[in-house]
């Protein structure tokens, strides 16, 4: 998921560089959503592993 967030971020940067504002904004939004989702899932997994004691 982090990989896809980085891909959309790069697409947003390239689209912004070439002046495609709509595509850049959409890609940036998707990248932000995927990154936040990655962080939530990562923290949830970390908490579950700490509670179970399987660290």
Q: What is the pLDDT of residues 4-44, one digit of tens each?
A: 989 999 999 999 999 999 999 999 999 999 999 999 999 99
pLDDT at position 33:
94
**How many structural domains does the chain have?**
1
User: Rounded to whole angstroms, how far apart are CA atoms 33 and 4?
Assistant: 11
Structural domain including 26 reads 2-52
DSSP secondary structure string for all residues of 13-43: HHHHHTT-HHHHHHHHHHHHHHHHHHHHHHH
User: Rounded to whole angstroms, how far apart are CA atoms 33 and 38?
Assistant: 9
């Amino acid at each position: 998921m982090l990989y896809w967030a980085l891909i959309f971020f790069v697409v947003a940067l390239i689209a912004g560089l070439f002046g495609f504002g709509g595509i850049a904004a959409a890609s940036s939004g998707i990248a932000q959503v995927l990154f936040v989702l990655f962080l939530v899932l990562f923290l949830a997994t970390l908490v579950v592993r700490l509670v179970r004691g399987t660290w």
